[in-house]
Amino acid sequence: MAFPLHRPRRFRRTETLRRMVRETRLSPDNLIQPLFVCPGRGIKRPVPSMPGVAQMSVDKIVAEAREIQTSGVPALILFGIPERKDAIGSQAWNDDGEVQRAIREIKERVPNLAVITDVCLCEYTDHGHCGAVADGDVDNDATLELLVREALSHARAGADIVAPSDMMDGRVGAIRRALDENGFANIAIMAYSAKFASAFYGPFRDAAQSAPQFGDRRSYQMDPPNGDEAIREVALDLEEGADIVMIKPALPYLDLIWRVKQKFNVPVAAYNVSGEYSMIRAAGINGWIDEDRAVIEVLTSIRRAGADLILTYFATDIARKLQLGQ
């Protein structure tokens, strides 16, 4: 028998020994902080369903960007809340829009921080869907040109990475061609390749003011039971020129993060989404769990599944604790 010769507990005895043989490393370098930029000045408006998260005007976003950089987190992703909305989301490609102004200010004042932008129309349309609507559903091909306009506007403002999250067929290829043809061949694409129609997005829709005004998004976001389809979606995005592929949400789809990393061996991102955040934060506020330990355990599980990058609302706070060795 292996016991007593083999005793796995030998390396669990002290924190130093545990650190020495730790298999999965979680670092601030793995994290991306999402931010919500809104019109106005001096605004930091808390999101009730996401304690600790706020909609912020550009000046507050810049201050937050400095905090993010100080924490060691290398990147943020911006979501925009426009002053006005219309049927096609035209403010999404307004070069003087909130996201575009935030990009320019961050790149001027916090130049070493990578800026990623969400490329989607749900925050900008008056109906809350992710593209142009025809006959009660999103018109895939008509939406592609609108997404291209948005991505080019973000690139002109100075974004380092654009992240199409709409789940329209062919949007990665359309954006890649447009970027290359307009002098932005060095701008990377982080594609939301397998984005599921999830129950965990509710708090985000409060934060981004992007809830659909009719129906739902199941005609374009993925059906949760479909793992093989997710692999096909990732393969298509890579063929079209995606540099990073993303699985969203993270926790219910750890198996797919693992499958994608093993099959394609490319940079993989995972979004630890708003519902996952709010569950842990609510439990922590109520004293039901040790929040810091739970967050590190969750993020480590996402890393262990194969994610290189994790978008999480906990990024800045947890990065500070990781730097302190907690």
Q: Catalytic positions, please?
A: 195, 248
Nearest CA to 160 out of 206, 107, 207 is that of 107
- Residue 80: name the closest of 33, 118, 40 by CA: 118
C-beta of residue 147 within 8 angstroms of C-beta of residue 121: yes
Other CB atoms within 10 Å distance of the CB of residue 201 = 22
Q: Kindly report the CA angle at 266 between 131 and 208, in degrees rounded to 5?
A: 30
* Cα 129 to Cα 216: distance, rounded to the nearest angstrom: 8
Residues 6+ apart with CB under 8 A from 149: 92, 93
Distance of alpha carbon 253 from alpha carbon 299, whole angstroms: 13
Give me the residue label for tokens 């408006």. 45
Q: How many angstroms separate the CA atoms of 219 and 51, rounded?
A: 31
